[in-house]
């Protein structure tokens, strides 16, 4: 496999010419020609991502067989595009070949999907994905010297293994994101293998790549969860708010056209259709850059970059300056005598315009807060338009908006104060206890991960000038991850209610939850309170993970205890670890002290 081309990967969107609309414009034809070369070079990467995400349990050797089959299929179609098999959609072809692999559907428990066809089979493969990857072995690691030897002796194998391991552990991450991660990983490997201090180089340069993957994974799962649980309309309003804040000078008509492109992008990406996802992602970026004069003054340099870099640049670009002639408030939604009539004439367009006008005037608000205000406005008009004097009723809408914003702002301020008082570790233990109490049915690893992400939101945001929007946006992503992508995911009645009832008010709903009363703790096991000398040999990060897992399992076991009682038991545990790791014989100390922790 040749080097993944940063300038070419997005052109994969035209894979299999007979199954897609042929381009007619000169620029499109040029892109189409580039696509054919990219297919020849990189079909393996696409197959690895799709297969590893659909069948996470599959071995690397099984994946290699499918890659070989897809390459042969591609070669046949490149030689003769009129073959009947070459008219099929790429995702259908891939799933057919996965199902045709001898014994594989039975071995990995997806034979029920193979009995279906077309859309039903695609949905079945999607719902077969597992976000909790605790069933997989730990991510394989090599020390830097071994990694560099592997890269120099067989870089193709190293990159293939890397992409396979990352994709199967991130089954809902979009293909363009994973291809970007793979490209960055190779850049890191190539650079660090030339350094004398390889360890420091890998540790330092790998951090941004990992953060990039985590951030996009969290956001993509969040929006896909919204799409599958609440439908396309919610995704529309999410992006009306996002794009109105980012591009405040855009015209409403242009905004809606762009939002429609973005929303359709999520259909293919969320379903895991690699080809459709890449095609639609390219369409969105081309749309923005072809209209940049009327959309934003901040993306000119981005649009001059290579294809892959262009997308990243636009996403990371600053919000455009607010137009100088834009008033601080738009009176037509609160002062007009005809608000109810305008709403009734076309409700979707009316509320889309309200979201657009309010969002571009309030770049300081979070996306969840903007959606809450839209919901409050809808509820207010539903009430006011049934009164004898509607204008006299909705005239005070701004007071309602300010009221909910103040409430949300105070909640964030309290949380940041909590962070300052408790510190990073103290806040993490607080959220591990809280999250485990409201959703004890989740796996230990999921709860530890959610706790870490919640703390990241506060450590990242609580010192920033845009503290409110930052915390509210990131905390909302954590609850989105808790709710999951699949619409049929259930945790417990209270959590399910918060996840499925109202997208805009999901976070306030979670904040009001108490410990789950339907939960039945597992039988008592002394194993939880049994520790050995290997605790003292753990590196800082590994010891922290063991500590976090102990706390979550402690809450699951002693679910009825108060937060203060749980904190006391956890302090006992920390004291025992500290004491025994300083003892002359740690193992003897742990044998004597461990049984006392749970008492």
Question: Can you say which residues are annotated as belonging to the binding site for Zn(2+)?
Answer: 273
Question: How far is CA 150 from each of CA 4, 206, 571, rounded to the nearest angstrom?
Answer: 18, 17, 44
Q: Tell me the C-alpha distance between 38 and 275, whole Å.
A: 13
Query: SS3 sequence, 212-265?
Result: HHHHHHHHHHHHHHHHHHHCHHHHHHHHHHHHHHHCCCCCHHHHHHHHHHHHHH
Structure-token pair, residue 264? 């359709």
Name the binding residues: 273
Query: What is the C-alpha separation between 456 and 51, in angstroms, rounded?
Result: 32
Output the DSSP codes for 429-445.
Answer: HHHHHHHHHH-TTS-HH
User: Do residues 187 and 159 touch, judged by C-beta distance below 8 A?
Assistant: no
Annotate 75-144 with three-state secondary structure. Answer: HHHHHCCCCHHHHCCHHHHHHHHHHHCCCHHHHCCCHHHHCCCHHHHHHHHHHCCCCCCCCCCCCCCCCH
Residue 231, by phi and psi: left (phi above 0), alpha (psi -120 to 50) or beta? left
d(CA 330, CA 545): 50
Q: Which of 356, 340, 315 is nearest to 220 (CA)?
A: 315
Alpha-carbon span 105 to 82, nearest angstrom: 30
Rounded CA-CA distance 391/394 in Å is 5
DSSP 559-597: TTS-HHHHHHHHHHHHHHHHHHHHSSSHHHHHHHHHHHH
For 298, which DSSP code? S
Return d(Cα 546, Cα 378) in angstroms, integer. Answer: 47
Q: How far, in Å, are 13, 220, 247, 283 from residue 215 at the CA level?
A: 24, 9, 22, 22
Q: At what angle do helices 252-271 and 232-246 cross, to 10 degrees?
A: 130
Write out the two tokens for 546.
Answer: 């063991």
Closest Cα to residue 237, out of 350, 379, 335? Answer: 350
């Amino acid at each position: 496999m040749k080097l993944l081309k940063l300038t070419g990967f997005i052109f994969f969107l035209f894979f299999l010419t007979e199954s897609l609309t042929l381009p007619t414009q000169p620029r499109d034809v040029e892109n189409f020609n580039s696509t054919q070369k990219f297919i020849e070079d990189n079909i393996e990467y696409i197959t690895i991502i799709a297969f590893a995400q659909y069948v996470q349990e599959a071995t690397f050797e099984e994946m290699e067989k499918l890659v070989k089959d897809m390459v042969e299929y591609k070669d046949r179609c490149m030689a003769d595009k009129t073959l009947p098999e070459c008219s099929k959609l790429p995702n259908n072809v891939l799933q057919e070949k996965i199902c045709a692999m001898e014994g594989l559907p039975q071995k990995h428990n997806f034979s029920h999907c193979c009995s279906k066809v077309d859309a039903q089979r695609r949905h079945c493969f999607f719902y077969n994905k597992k976000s909790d990857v605790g069933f997989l072995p730990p991510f394989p690691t090599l020390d830097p010297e071994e990694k560099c030897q592997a890269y120099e002796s067989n870089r193709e194998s190293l990159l293939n293994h890397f992409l396979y391991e990352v994709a199967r552990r991130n089954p809902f991450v979009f293909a363009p994101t994973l291809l970007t991660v793979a490209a960055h990983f190779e850049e890191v490997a190539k650079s660090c293998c030339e350094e004398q201090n390889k360890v420091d180089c890998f540790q330092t340069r790998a951090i941004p790549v990992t953060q990039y993957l985590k951030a996009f994974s969290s956001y993509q799962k969040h929006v896909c969860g919204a799409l599958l649980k609440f439908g396309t309309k919610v995704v529309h309003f999410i992006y009306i708010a996002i794009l109105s804040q980012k591009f405040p000078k855009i015209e409403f008509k242009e905004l809606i056209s762009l939002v429609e492109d973005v929303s359709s992008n999520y259909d293919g990406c969320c379903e895991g259709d690699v080809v459709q996802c890449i095609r639609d992602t390219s369409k969105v970026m081309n749309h923005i850059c072809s209209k940049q004069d009327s959309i934003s003054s901040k993306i000119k340099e981005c649009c001059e970059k290579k294809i892959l870099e262009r997308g990243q640049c636009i996403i990371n670009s600053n919000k455009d300056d607010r137009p100088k002639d834009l008033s601080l408030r738009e009176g037509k939604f609160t002062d007009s005598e005809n608000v109810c009539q305008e709403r009734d004439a076309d409700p979707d367009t009316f509320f889309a315009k309200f979201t657009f006008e309010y969002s571009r005037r309030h770049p300081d608000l979070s996306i969840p807060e903007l959606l809450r205000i839209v919901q409050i406005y809808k509820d207010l008009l539903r009430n006011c338009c049934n009164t004898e004097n509607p204008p006299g009723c909705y005239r005070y809408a701004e007071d309602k908006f300010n009221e909910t914003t103040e409430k949300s702002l105070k909640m964030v301020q309290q949380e940041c104060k909590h962070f300052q008082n408790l510190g990073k570790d103290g806040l993490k233990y607080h959220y591990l206890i809280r999250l485990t109490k409201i959703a004890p049915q989740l796996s230990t690893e999921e709860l530890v991960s959610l706790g870490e992400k919640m703390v990241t939101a506060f450590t990242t945001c609580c010192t920033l000038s845009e503290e409110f929007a930052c915390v509210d946006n990131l905390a909302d992503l954590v609850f989105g991850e808790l709710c999951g992508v699949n619409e049929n995911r259930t945790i417990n009645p209270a959590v399910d209610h918060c996840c499925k009832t109202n997208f805009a008010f999901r976070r306030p709903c979670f904040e009001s939850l108490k410990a789950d009363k339907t939960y039945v703790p597992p039988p008592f096991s002394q194993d939880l309170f049994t520790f050995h000398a290997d605790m003292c040999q753990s590196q800082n990060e590994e010891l922290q993970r063991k500590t976090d897992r102990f706390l979550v399992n402690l809450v699951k076991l002693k679910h009825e205890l108060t937060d203060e009682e749980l904190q006391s038991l956890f302090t006992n545990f920390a004291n025992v670890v500290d004491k025994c790791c300083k003892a002359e014989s740690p193992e003897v100390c742990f044998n004597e002290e461990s049984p006392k922790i749970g008492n």
